[in-house]
Amino acid sequence: MSLVIPEEILQAARISEAELRQEIAVMLFEKERLTLEQASRFAGMSRLQFQHLLASRQIPVHYDVEEFEEDLRTLRELRRL
């Protein structure tokens, strides 16, 4: 699905497309609709950058078992390289 935001909306809000993506990602993460990984990808940021953005807004990072297991899988894959 694609969503087109008219340029005049961005101008009226005085926000860039990148900033809008970050705002949406933060909101969806805060409402626990996206994981940290999903939200950081949507925002176009690394996980660390996105975590810094969350910290700057005093939004706690939700880190559940599923994300922990995903991180473990990633670490195992990296060890094989």
Q: Quick one: pLDDT at residue 29?
A: 95
Angle at which helices 47-56 and 36-43 pack, to 10 degrees?
A: 90
Query: What would the two tokens of residue 34 be?
Result: 């996206």
- CA dist 74 to 9, 48, 67, 80, Å? 39, 15, 10, 10
| Contact indicator for 20, 9 with CB cutoff of 8 Å | no
Q: Quick one: pLDDT at residue 62?
A: 76
| Contact indicator for 77, 49 with CB cutoff of 8 Å | no
What is the tens place of the pLDDT at every residue in 24-73? 999 999 999 998 889 999 999 999 999 999 999 999 887 778 878 888 89
DSSP E strand boundaries for 27-72: none
